[in-house]
Structure 1
Amino acid sequence: MYEYRSDRSEVEVPYSDVLSFVLDGPHAEAHARKKESLVPADRSELSSPACAIGTDSLQKYLYPVLFLAIVGSGATFLGLNPSCTTGETDHAIKVANVKFILVQPPCFEAMASMAAQSGIPSDHVLVFDGELSDHEEETSNLHTWGKLLSHGEQDWIRFDDEESAGTTPAALFLTSGTTGMPKAAVHTHYALVTKYLVTQDRPKPYEVRRLITVPMFHAFAAVLVHIAPSVEGCTTYIAPRFKLDSCIGFAKRYGITEWPMVPQIISRLVDSIQSQAEHSDTLKSIRLVSCGGAPLPLELKRNLEKLLHSEARVAEQWGMSEVGTITNFPYPETDDSGSVGTIFPNTRIRLRDAEGQYISQDECPGEIIVHTPSRMLGYLGDPTSTNVVLSPDGWYTTGDIGYCRKGKWYIVDRAKDIIKVRGWQVAPAELEACLLGHPQVKDAAVIGVRRQGDVSELPRAYVVHDGSGVISLSEKDVATFLQDRLAGYKSLDGGVKFVETIPRNTSGKILRRVLREMAEQEGFNTKIA
Structure 2
Amino acid sequence: MQYLPEKDYDLPCIDLLSLIFDSELAWTQEDTVLHAEAAIVTNHVTKAEARSWTQRLAHVWRNRFGIGEHGPGKNVVLCASSNQVFLPLIFYSVIAAGGVYSAASASLTPSELAEQMEHGGTDVIVACPETRETVTLAARLCGIPLSRILVLESMGNKRSLSTVADGEDNLMRSMHKLDWERITDAETLEQRLICLLYSSGTTGPPKGVMISNMNMVSEAILPQYMIRAYLARRKDADPNFSFDYRTLAHLPAAHVAGCQGYFSNPAIAGGPVYWMPKFNLPDFLKYCESLKISYLSTVPPIYLLIAKSPLVKDQFKYLVHAQSGAAPMGSELQTLTQKRLGCFVSQTWGLTESTGGFTTMPWDRNDLTGSISPILPNTRVRIVGEDERDADEGSRGEILIKGPIVTKGYFKDPEATANAFTAEGWFRTGDVGLRKNGMFYIVDRKKELIKYKGLQVAPAELEALLLGLEKVQDVAVIGIPDPDGSGNELPRAYVVMGTGPGSLSAEQIKAHVKSNLAQHKQLRGGVVFVDVIPRNASGKILRRKLREDAQRESRRQGQAQPKL
TM-score, normalised relative to structure 2: 0.85
Closer, same or farther: CA 138–404 of 1 in aligned 2, 3 Å:
closer
> What's 1:269 paired with?
306
Deviation at 1:501, TM superposition (A): 1.6
> What's 1:299 paired with?
332
Is there any run of 5+ residues in structure 2 with no aligned partner, and where? 32-46, 232-240, 560-564
Q: Give the aligned residue type for 1:141.
A: D
SS at match of 1:128: strand
1:189 corresponds to which of 191, 199, 213: 213
- Deviation string, structure 1 residues 162-187 (Cα, Å, up to 9, x no partner): 22111110101111110222111010
- Deviation string, structure 1 residues 405-456 (Cα, Å, up to 9, x no partner): 2321110111111111111111111122222233332222221222142332
- Range moving further from structure 2, 10-19 or 129-138: 129-138
Closer, same or farther: CA 15–135 of 1 in aligned 2, 3 Å:
closer
Deviation at 1:224, TM superposition (A): 2.2
- Range moving further from structure 2, 38-47 or 479-488: 38-47
2:289 corresponds to which of 240, 249, 252: 252
Q: Give the aligned residue type for 2:335.
A: R
- Deviation string, structure 1 residues 257-306 (Cα, Å, up to 9, x no partner): 1111111111122333xx24xx5222222121110011223222222222
> What's 1:88 paired with?
112
> What's 1:454 paired with?
486
1:336 correspondence with 2:373 = no
1:232 correspondence with 2:269 = yes
> What's 2:397 paired with?
366
1:38 corresponds to which of 45, 54, 67: 54
1:75 corresponds to which of 99, 109, 118: 99
Q: Give the aligned residue type for 1:288.
A: H
- Deviation string, structure 1 residues 221-255 (Cα, Å, up to 9, x no partner): 22322122322322332223212111111111122
**Mapped contact 1:46–1:75 kept (Cα < 8 A):** no
Alpha-carbon distance in structure 1 between the residues aligned to 2:158 and 2:280: 27
Closer, same or farther: CA 230–412 of 1 in aligned 2, 3 Å:
same
> What's 1:494 paired with?
525
SS at match of 1:231: helix
SS at match of 2:86: helix
1:518 correspondence with 2:549 = yes
Closer, same or farther: CA 106–412 of 1 in aligned 2, 3 Å:
closer
> What's 2:456 paired with?
425
Alpha-carbon distance in structure 2 between the residues aligned to 1:403 and 1:462: 27
Alpha-carbon distance in structure 1 between the residues aligned to 2:253 and 2:353: 17
> What's 1:23 paired with?
21
- Range moving further from structure 2, 170-179 or 457-466: 457-466
Q: Give the aligned residue type for 2:453.
A: R
Deviation at 1:106, TM superposition (A): 4.1
**Mapped contact 1:436–1:442 kept (Cα < 8 A):** yes
Alpha-carbon distance in structure 1 between the residues aligned to 2:163 and 2:191: 42
> What's 1:289 paired with?
322
Alpha-carbon distance in structure 2 between the residues aligned to 1:269 and 1:33: 35
- Deviation string, structure 1 residues 476-502 (Cα, Å, up to 9, x no partner): 222122112111111112222222221
1:217 corresponds to which of 254, 273, 276: 254
Alpha-carbon distance in structure 1 between the residues aligned to 2:516 and 2:154: 56
Closer, same or farther: CA 270–119 of 1 in aligned 2, 3 Å:
same
Identity %: 31
**Mapped contact 1:58–1:128 kept (Cα < 8 A):** no
Q: Give the aligned residue type for 1:47.
A: I
**Mapped contact 2:296–2:323 kept (Cα < 8 A):** yes
1:345 corresponds to which of 377, 389, 410: 377
- Deviation string, structure 1 residues 34-62 (Cα, Å, up to 9, x no partner): 52442334625343321211112256211
Closer, same or farther: CA 388–288 of 1 in aligned 2, 3 Å:
same
- Range moving further from structure 2, 317-326 or 430-439: 430-439
Closer, same or farther: CA 392–135 of 1 in aligned 2, 3 Å:
closer
Deviation at 1:207, TM superposition (A): 2.2
Closer, same or farther: CA 331–136 of 1 in aligned 2, 3 Å:
closer
- Runs of 4+ in structure 1 deviating by more than 6 angstroms, as ranges, are 131-140
**Mapped contact 2:78–2:125 kept (Cα < 8 A):** yes
**Mapped contact 1:46–1:100 kept (Cα < 8 A):** no
> What's 2:195 paired with?
171
**Mapped contact 1:440–1:468 kept (Cα < 8 A):** no
1:99 correspondence with 2:115 = no
Closer, same or farther: CA 146–256 of 1 in aligned 2, 3 Å:
closer
- Deviation string, structure 1 residues 184-237 (Cα, Å, up to 9, x no partner): 101011111011111111243432222221221210122322122322322332
- Range moving further from structure 2, 318-327 or 29-38: 29-38
Aligned residues: 514
Deviation at 1:73, TM superposition (A): 0.9
> What's 2:438 paired with?
407
Q: What is the Cα-based RMSD across aligned positions, in Å? A: 2.5
Closer, same or farther: CA 479–344 of 1 in aligned 2, 3 Å:
same
Q: Give the aligned residue type for 1:397.
A: R
SS at match of 2:297: coil
Q: What are the residue-to-residue correspondences of 1:311-330 with 2, within 5 Å?
A: 312-323=343-354, 324-330=356-362
> What's 1:10 paired with?
8
- Range moving further from structure 2, 38-47 or 457-466: 38-47
**Mapped contact 2:128–2:153 kept (Cα < 8 A):** yes
- Deviation string, structure 1 residues 109-129 (Cα, Å, up to 9, x no partner): 432332233232322112225
Alpha-carbon distance in structure 2 between the residues aligned to 1:405 and 1:315: 17
SS at match of 2:554: coil
Is there any run of 5+ residues in structure 1 with no aligned partner, and where? none
Alpha-carbon distance in structure 1 between the residues aligned to 2:160 and 2:393: 67
- Range moving further from structure 2, 178-187 or 136-145: 136-145
**Mapped contact 1:229–1:235 kept (Cα < 8 A):** yes
Q: What are the residue-to-residue correspondences of 1:438-449 with 2, within 5 Å?
A: 438-449=469-480
- Range moving further from structure 2, 23-32 or 488-497: 23-32
